[in-house]
Amino acid sequence: MADGNSSDEDFPDDWTLYANRPEWSDIEPLKQDDGENPVVMIQYSEKFNDVFSYLRAVISKQEKSVRALGLTQDAARLNAANYTVWQYRRDILKALNFNLYDELDYIEGVIEDNPKNYQVWHHRRVIVEWLNDPSKELELTENILNMDAKNYHAWQHRQWAIKTYDLFEDELQYVDRLISEDMRNNSAWNERFFVLKHTGFSADVLEREINYVMNRIRLIKNNESPWNFLRGLLQQGDGKLGQFPEVVEFCEDLYDSGIRSPYLLAFLVDLYEEKYFETKQAGNDPDEYKVKVQDLCESMATQHDKIRCKYWRYIVENFRRKIDAEGNQNGL
């Protein structure tokens, strides 16, 4: 039960060991049992050994009391990642019918000190579920994301709260602000798509979002996140990259103006491969698209994405194999 990192930093100088507290004299502490021949002996601090020895004793007796609740708080200070500490704390909260809003205030402070700790976020979620009240979750996650815009746990908790309690209404406005502040914030782009996916891709929404993302790409062309977002939007229609003429025109205009972003070129490779087979199926000559795909793959392999040159060689060879396979099917 004492796995994880220990830290004494949060304890005041006048903190007293439980072994020296008269009100705990009725409890016999349980030392950690590492067996007769432990492979590695971890040198825990005196405070750590003291707190967790008393916590083991309390759990063994299943004591659910205010003092036991305080003990779990000290244990969490020493090791906030310890699952048993939080689970037993929840057992005590239930048994005491504790004020859960006070618990929300407490765990908010713990999260601020441990923003990348799964167990503290999980504890927060459970308390919110018990209260059936998510009213503070968007503000909390926003505060954490202000410290670290890509904190996975904060985003996961925010998405859980939004989806579970239908809090979508103002989320696009929030995400737009994040993207305006940092257009390379891939977490914000992901959140925007999350909201749209759950609120629906109507024709009007698709048109609005396509214009939105194209305007963002115009500002920063070499930014992977909006290009991925654009592809995600196009998959919501008929799945074809060329289904919206304005997108095709937009990409070709960027290319013609001298933009050689690898994300633009990769998009054009897929677009022209799609165009090749559509044109051939319609009975027209698709050779111009064949040339474009091959030239773009060569450009990527030798200039704009050299680190993945083998990948682009594979893409063009695979494209040629598809052409050959279709020719064989048609008896050519």
For the question of residue 116 being annotated catalytic, the response is yes
Angle of CA points 52, 56, 58, to nearest 5°: 115
Q: Please give the full DSSP string across 28-82, using - where no structure is assigned.
A: --------SS-SS-----HHHHHHHHHHHHHHHHT--SHHHHHHHHHHHHH-TT-
88 secondary structure, DSSP code: H
Among residues 31, 61, 94, 116, the one annotated as catalytic is 116
**Distance separating alpha carbons of residues 182 and 185, to the nearest angstrom:** 6
Least Cα distance to 251 among 285, 287, 292 occurs for 292
DSSP H helical segments within the chain, as ranges? 46-61, 66-78, 83-96, 100-113, 118-131, 137-147, 152-165, 171-181, 186-199, 203-219, 224-234, 245-256, 262-281, 287-299, 309-329
User: By the 8 A CB rule, do 218 and 251 touch?
Assistant: no
Which residues, other chains included, contact 186 with Cβ-Cβ below 8 Å and sequence gap of 6+?
150, 224, 225
Whether the Cβ atoms of residue 153 and residue 186 lie closer than 8 Å to each other = no
Taking the mean position of all CA atoms in its chain, how far away is CA 192? 13
Residue 58 has a CB neighbour count (10 Å cut-off) of: 24
In degrees, to the nearest 5, what angle opens at C-alpha 326 toward C-alphas 323 and 330? 135
Q: For the chain, give the number of residues.
A: 332
Two tokens, residue 28: 């016999």
Which one-letter DSSP state was computed for residue 134? -
User: Which active-site residues does the annotation give?
Assistant: 116
